[in-house]
Amino acid sequence: RWANDRERDRFVDLTLQHMSDIAERLESYPDQFEPLFGTREAEGQELTIVEEWCFGYLRGVALSDWSTLPAELKPALDAIALHGSEAQFTALDNLTADEFIDSIERITPAALALYQYWMANPLPVVVPQPVRNEAKVGRNYPCPCGSGKKYKQCC
């Protein structure tokens, strides 16, 4: 919950501004795109944490209908889903260190390929039609049920 409407509006404005900034950078400078992965140190090594980014990406995917994604781009989505789905954790555990690093390196090109596909082939926007009320029947008009009686004496 927001403390007030102003705080909510500020958050929405900043979120949309950030989204627009990312879209502009992806469009104008795709070679400079780098997902914001986390890092942590373990046993004296800095490890890249991609799971949070991939989980978030898949949450975004769930908001739309990606069933029209061509088969040739399914491996790109799978590269992200490998790290963004709990169902894939056993597959990740079975990877060697080199395979794990390779799988992380495939995420950025996969995200770019998916972005470029959806920019070239956007989903159609379904605009809901407004609900229109039928014209009200006047008291002295014939009843719409077809009885021939006046509305006030029928239905």
- With a threshold of 0.85, does the pTM exceed it? no
- For the chain, give the number of residues: 155
Our count of domains for the chain comes to 1
What pLDDT is attached to residue 111?
96
What pLDDT is attached to residue 146?
82
Distance CA 100, CA 103 (A): 5
Distances, alpha carbon 120 to alpha carbons 44, 47, 107, 125, in Å = 44, 35, 20, 15
What pLDDT is attached to residue 37?
93
What pLDDT is attached to residue 145?
85
What pLDDT is attached to residue 150?
84
Instruction: Write out pLDDT tens, residues 46-91.
Output: 888 999 999 999 999 999 889 999 999 999 999 999 999 999 989 9
In the predicted model, residues of the chain with pLDDT beneath 50 are none
Domain span at residue 121? 5-153
